[in-house]
Structure 1
Amino acid sequence: MPELPEVEVVRRGLVNWVRGRTINGVDVLDERSIRRHALGREDFTGNLVGATVTDVVRRGKFLWMPLQDDADSYGPPAVALMAHLGMSGQLLMQDDSVPDEKHLKVRLRLSAREGMPEQLRFVDQRIFGGLFVTSLVPTDDGAPGGLAESPLPLIAEEASHIARDPLDPAFSFELFYRRLRKRRTGLKRALLDQGLVSGIGNIYADEALWRAKLHFARPTDTLRRNEAETVLDCAREVMQDALAAGGTSFDSLYVNVNGASGYFERSLNAYGREGQPCGRCAAAGITSAIRRDQFMNRSSYTCPVCQPKPRRGRW
């Protein structure tokens, strides 16, 4: 499933193409992809046709496009088009001349702009993702709802329950650390808790912990302040590195808005490298191989030498 860097790559691509453009038409080819819009196809289409996309916003893995009607153009946007990518959802900017993809689910026809594709297409092979219109509500702290070009203190209602992510300028380490210390769980479980810190998934949790030299089972209530700062700094670094590489693509299901794959998979130090040498240990002349452990119906990858398992751990 796409994690924060992959969704941010999509956001950055989308904003260049759709910001300020009006939705002139909507084709719903598979209603399963708008199932989260409880009022159905007609209401979904009615909310979109004639609306102008004012921005593209992301918090954690959540992505939304605030919409403005001409009648309400003097006030802040009240609704947004939410995009949930799921396991295989793709948002692609394409020209009318490009044939429909096999798994095309929803097509938005945009107002013309010279040199830009006319359509935003939602493609989803496994149909775990989808699009829906949601309300925008004020943020609890009065800060912008997420990363955007023109930040507003509004957030899509379905994203209002999640914490800020490490790349958010309004992220508070003090709040994160206080909440972290109150958790009686393992460190990786805490990093995956979207109510504590959003946007970190299985891949980047393993990579951040490897960089921080911390084991995934380290009890959170034993974590010192400097260790918490280190693991957050490492999470930021690894996600910024992934952004620079266009995200992590293990197959053709994750692509950016132009259909290109990311290349951060080539830079992974721990995730998916079971049995391969630990690069840090090898550089120090130490023989060690990456280990895989079962974790929450998934896997965790660590180096048993430079990420020693704690005597008292919580998985």
Structure 2
Amino acid sequence: MPELPEVEVVRRGVERWVVGRRIESVQVLDPRSVRRHEAGPVSFADELDGAVVADAVRRGKFLWLPLTGTDGAPPREALLVHLGMSGQLLVKDAELPGEKHLKVRLGLSERPGTPAELRFVDQRIFGGMLLDRLVPTDDGAPGGRSATGAPLVPVRAAHIGRDPLDPAFDEGLFHDRLRRRRTGLKRALLDQSLVSGIGNIYADEALWQARLHWARPTDTLRRPETLRVLAAAREVMDRALAAGGTSFDSLYVNVNGESGYFARSLSAYGRASLPCPRCAEAGRSTLIVREQFMNRSSYRCPACQRTPRNARF
């Protein structure tokens, strides 16, 4: 499933190729991909037709495109996109054949040297698109990472916490809320209402870098430890961004259809029975272990990330 770095790579591509262009045609090829738009696919197409994409904004794994009309009035609604497990936003030339799992096709106004279509492709159909009303942010800060920094957020994304790469992210508030959760650390990091954008892959990588066990009770964390795991999450995701994200198969690509290469730099996730890189540098031969966690897997080094006595599994 795409996580924050992957969605940010897509956002930057949309910002470069789509922002400022008018939507001149809308084709909904599979109504299931707009099922969250309560008024239905015909209304979805009618409302989008003629709108201008004013910005590309991301908070956590949520991506939205604020829309203006031909009158240039401030955006009041946005095209909200959730990639789910296999969703892709692709910028393509109109004459190219449609992808096997193409769900929505948006024709864009002409811009020299720029592909004319924005396509939503989704193999597993867990993602989708909808039009949603924009509301002011609770704190008056920008809704998320964007070019304009407008303090607006779609109604359906307003409950999502800010992510560690957001300049408005409040570390002190996060630490206080984290300690009140009284749960395991990784479970808290995956709670998108507490902190957004950290999924299974980057949680394991951040915890490995911070030398903290995934079952560490949150109410025992000292502020320096909280700051350490936040710093680790930022550093890991910044490196993933530089590599274009993490791709394990063809389901994650950027808007040009290219895969990310951060999987080659992972230190813990997916490395069961392989040496811990940090231990190897120190001359130890500790192997990464895979453990069950919330119907998925967690990876850690038994030497660097020792199990706490009061672990919350």
| Structure 1 Cα separation of the partners of residues 61 and 168 of structure 2 | 16
Is structure 2 residue 59 aligned with structure 1 residue 55?
no
Q: CA deviation at 1:70?
A: 1.7
Q: CA deviation at 1:101?
A: 0.9
> Residues 121-163 of structure 1: CA distance to partner in whole angstroms, max 9, x if unpaired?
0111111111110010110001000000011110011110011
SS at match of 2:142: coil
Which residue of structure 2 aligns with residue 14 of structure 1? 14
Q: CA deviation at 1:85?
A: 0.5
Which residue of structure 1 aligns with residue 23 of structure 2? 23
Which residue of structure 2 aligns with residue 314 of structure 1? 312
Q: CA deviation at 1:287?
A: 1.4
Which residue of structure 2 aligns with residue 96 of structure 1? 94
| Structure 2 Cα separation of the partners of residues 156 and 17 of structure 1 | 22
- Structure 2: which 5+ residue stretches go unaligned? none
Q: Where do residues 121-270 of structure 1 align in structure 2 (5 Å cutoff)? A: 121-270=119-268
Q: CA deviation at 1:286?
A: 1.0
> Residues 174-210 of structure 1: CA distance to partner in whole angstroms, max 9, x if unpaired?
1101101111101101111111111000000000000
| Structure 1 Cα separation of the partners of residues 179 and 251 of structure 2 | 37
| Structure 1 Cα separation of the partners of residues 104 and 270 of structure 2 | 33
> Residues 207-226 of structure 1: CA distance to partner in whole angstroms, max 9, x if unpaired?
00000000001001111110
Q: CA deviation at 1:229?
A: 0.3
| Structure 2 Cα separation of the partners of residues 219 and 40 of structure 1 | 45
SS at match of 1:70: coil
> Residues 91-123 of structure 1: CA distance to partner in whole angstroms, max 9, x if unpaired?
000001211111111000000000000000011
Q: What's the RMSD between the two structures over aligned residues?
A: 0.6
> Residues 260-281 of structure 1: CA distance to partner in whole angstroms, max 9, x if unpaired?
0000000000000000000100
Deviation beyond 2 Å, 4+ runs, structure 1: none
The two structures have a TM-score, normalised by structure 1, of 0.98
Is structure 2 residue 311 aligned with structure 1 residue 295?
no
- The residue type equivalent to 2:228 in the other structure is T
SS at match of 1:91: strand
- The residue type equivalent to 1:92 in the other structure is L
- The residue type equivalent to 2:17 in the other structure is W
How many percent identity over aligned positions?
68
The two structures have a TM-score, normalised by structure 2, of 0.99
Which residue of structure 2 aligns with residue 36 of structure 1? 36
Which residue of structure 2 aligns with residue 274 of structure 1? 272
| Structure 1 Cα separation of the partners of residues 42 and 194 of structure 2 | 37
SS at match of 1:209: helix
Which residue of structure 1 aligns with residue 66 of structure 2? 66
